[in-house]
Amino acid sequence: MGLPKGFIKKVSFIEQNIGPEKRQDFLDEIDYKGMYLPKGVDYEDIDRTFVDFVNDDVTLNIDGEEVPVMFLTITKWAEFSKTWSFSDKFKNIKMPFITVVRQPDVQVGTNQNGNWNIPGKKLYTYIKVPNNQGGRKGIDIYKIPQPTSVDLTYDVRLFCNRMKDLNLFNKIIQTTFNSRQFYITVKGHPMPIHLEKIGDESQKDDFDKRRFYVQTFEMKVLGYILDEDDFEALPTINRSNLTFTEITDNNKNIDKISYVVNNLNDITTYKFNFKPFSELLFSYTSDVNINFNNISNTINVTNIIISINGVEENNGLIITKGINVNAGDIVTIQIITNNINSNSLFNLNGNII
């Protein structure tokens, strides 16, 4: 049996990315109309955005007027709850109204499913940005640390005289959180809010004074904080030009060592050339953070010893584990050759980190 004509309505579906593509959408939103680095986040930023959420997303409108929202600290709330009085023409508080109180005991965050950050406050590549200085093309690498996860709990209270006002606000809250969570955006960073529980603090037994309803909504923001002072912008090796460096012994002009650096498609290659009769050991200071992982194209070289800041990291023609070099580290290279009368060549390959 068919449905009556006009009963079926067309539903417009909006395609949304999921998985890694959705996470990239979040990153693009953080970067939109801003710097290449994300904005820092502190507790005050989360507080401000949460109050905006109560004002804008769960707005309570009664008799054509929006119910005012007041943000109080825990100490001001304790004082307020003991001293406030009902409305009158002498600027006493008028009901209904909403208060927001953030509990001061910020907890370890749970937005990573209980996973902890990697120790050591390591910086991670956030974005690579092309640059052009004086016609020379290259890239800048922007790095940030892992954010620190925090859970902030807020108590939202509605004070009103009528049950229908309480029912209306309860309905708005329940509808907002009918999919378990609601996302707020704190300075470009998406953070979920969970509705933890609903309570009641109504004055039911006070017959001497005016009776009123107080309903509490405990909400938790699964957020994180991020300090802009920890961000780092690192200029990297030029892509289109080759860097040529020559080390010369002042006492022997013929003792020369040179290396050429080429960076292409995120692979960095140091091409070393120990010229005839040159010293077989030299050091240089690294300008970038790099991980060397491979030695190739060896000519007239039987062994290579690589040390970082005086600590031997590799001995041989095969790198068994990656050699991490930070900008400012002193890299020392010593080779063994069969014939000092000929050039000794090899490539040291790695990735900018």
Domain CATH for 327: 2.60.120
Distance CA 289, CA 234 (A): 9
Distance between CA 39 and CA 149 in Å, rounded? Answer: 16
Q: Which amino acid is at 22?
A: K
Last residue of a domain, one of 184, 211, 232: 232
CA 318, chain centre distance (Å):
36
Q: Does residue 6 fall inside a structural domain?
A: no
Q: Please give the pLDDT value at position 251.
A: 42
220 and 296 belong to one structural domain: no
Whether residues 175 and 247 share a domain: the answer is no
The answer to whether residue 95 sits within a structural domain is yes
Q: Are residues 276 and 146 in the same domain?
A: no
Number of domains composing the chain: 2
Does 248 lie in the same domain as 205? Answer: no
pTM as predicted = 0.56
Choosing from 209, 232, 255, the residue where a domain stops is: 232
Read off φ and ψ for residue 306, nearest 5 degrees. Answer: -115, 125
* DSSP character string of 18-75: -THHHHHHHHHHHHTTS-SSPPPB-HHHHHHHHHHHHHHTS--EETTEEPPEEEE-HH
Task: Kindly state whether residue 13 falls inside one of the protein's structural domains.
Answer: no
Could you list the residue range(s) of the whole structural domain that residue 182 is in? Answer: 20-112+119-232
Sheet holding 281-285, edge to edge: 281-285, 330-336, 303-308, 311-315
Encode the chain (353 residues) as per-residue pLDDT tens digits: 555 555 555 555 566 777 777 666 666 665 555 556 788 899 999 999 999 999 999 999 888 889 888 888 766 666 665 555 544 454 556 778 899 999 989 999 888 877 888 787 788 877 777 766 655 666 778 888 889 999 999 999 998 888 999 999 999 999 999 988 999 999 988 999 999 999 998 876 554 456 778 899 999 999 999 988 888 777 665 544 445 555 544 444 445 777 777 776 667 888 888 888 888 888 888 888 889 999 999 999 999 999 998 889 999 999 988 899 988 888 999 998 888 888 899 999 888 87
CATH label of the domain that carries residue 38: 3.30.2000
Do 293 and 195 lie in a common domain? no
Residue 245 lies in a domain: yes
Is the same domain home to 243 and 224? no
Residue 56: CB atoms within 10 A of its CB come to 10
Quick one: pLDDT at residue 242?
Answer: 47
| Domain presence at residue 8 | no
Residue 228 in 3-state DSSP? helix
Whether residues 106 and 166 share a domain: the answer is: yes
User: Which residues does 277 contact at the CB level (< 8 Å), separation at least 6?
Assistant: 252, 254, 255, 340, 341
Q: Are residues 264 and 154 in the same domain?
A: no
165, part of any domain? yes
Considering the domain architecture, whether residues 331 and 221 belong to the same structural domain is answered as no
The verdict on 150 and 73 lying in the same domain is yes
Picking from 200, 216, 232, the residue at the C-terminal end of a domain is 232
**Amino acid at position 238, single letter:** N
Residue 63 is assigned to a structural domain of this protein? yes
Same domain? 221 vs 147: yes
The answer as to whether 347 is a domain residue is yes
Q: Could you tell me if 93 and 157 lie in one domain?
A: yes
Dihedral over Cα of 85, 91, 94, 97: its sign: negative
